[in-house]
Every structure is written in C-alpha cells, then in structure tokens.
Amino acid sequence: SINKLSEFQVIYIMFQIFRALIYCHNTHHLVHRDIKPENIVVFRKNNAMEDLYDVKLIDFGISKIFNKVEKNNDNRIKGSLNYIAPEVLDGKYNEKCDMWSLGVTLYHIYFGNTPYNTEYDIDSIMDKIYSDNFIYDFSGIPTLDILFKRLLELNPEKRMTHEEFYEYVNRFKFG
C-alpha cells in the first residue's frame, strides 16, 4: 500500500468510521453525505496495540435528516464528487449513500487515490460512477476486495448493509 497501512489497520479504521455511521443513521436518522479522508481524524492509541487507533468522523456541515422508509428527494448535489454515491447524484437516497462513500474512502485510505483513475473532470467521474467501471486491484487482499465490491455496489438495494458490514468485519474482533 502507498501509505504503509496494513490490511488490519485499514479495516480497523473503517470499522471505527462505520460505528460513527451506525450512531448517526440509527440514533439520529442523520446521513453524513460527505465521508472522505479529509473528514476523518485518526489518532494512535497510547495504551493499546500499535495497530489500533481512535478514529473520529468530522464535518457534518452538509449532513441531513433522512427518512428510513422512503428515499429522500433532494436535487441539490452535496458532497465531494469523488466520494458521492450515484443515488445522491440522482437526488433520491437514504443511509446507503454513506456506505458507498465508505467504500471509496476504503480505497483511498489504502491506495492514496480514488478508484476512478481519472483527472478531476466532472463528466468523466460521473461516467465512471454510473458505469461501475472502476480501476482497482486488491488482488492478494481478498478481505479488502470483498468489502470494496460490496460497498461500491451500484444498486443501493444490493449494497452492503450495516448488518452485513458488521458481521463481515466482526471476525477481526474489533468490538
């Protein structure tokens, strides 16, 4: 990996972000809408294993209360294009949009860039998002490969749920 984080470290950081999302989604019915590396603060724990961190999700400036029963209708694009879920671009989304952003963030934390392999060109990025045509190579790292593919499922109904994410990463005994 570019930034020398191990598979375990990356999954642990993602799990901590996920715990913050569960709190936002289930307790406050709040969707963050701007999950990206710049909105994650990571501190090394002083009294724990070297691979463990305290992780905080910040910048709730464009977060929004959402309806868990029906998709929200909002035609204003909010968030960072490189991390935004396709359904947010369509203006109809729920908490699953944050799971998409979690997947793009997973990729960025491990590789140091986004999976679109394109310059910051709005049309090119949107084409890549809608086409499900990502450039990535987690070969040899099946744990991250599975997470990435399930979190970046184009259809939000098939995208990894909270329960599936928790069940998948819980085998690492994070909490």
- Considering the candidates 34, 59, 121, 145, report the single residue annotated as catalytic: 34
Contact 125, 116 (CB under 8 A): yes
* In the block, residue with structure tokens 């450039």: 135
Question: What pLDDT digit, counting tens, does each position of 55-110 carry?
Answer: 999 999 999 888 765 566 666 667 788 899 988 888 888 999 999 999 999 988 88
Q: How many CB atoms lie within 10 A of CB 65?
A: 9
Q: Is residue 26 scored above 90 in pLDDT?
A: yes
If we measure between CA atoms, which residue out of 162, 38, 54, 175 comes closest to residue 98?
162
Q: How many CB atoms lie within 10 A of CB 164?
A: 13
Average pLDDT rounded to a whole number, residues 106-133: 78
Question: What pLDDT digit, counting tens, does each position of 32-67 carry?
Answer: 999 999 999 988 776 655 566 789 999 999 998 887
Specify burial of residue 161 (Cβ count, 10 A radius: 0-12, 13-18, 19+). middle
The yes-or-no answer on residue 121 being catalytic is no
CA 82 to chain centre: 11
* In the block, residue with structure tokens 């049309």: 123
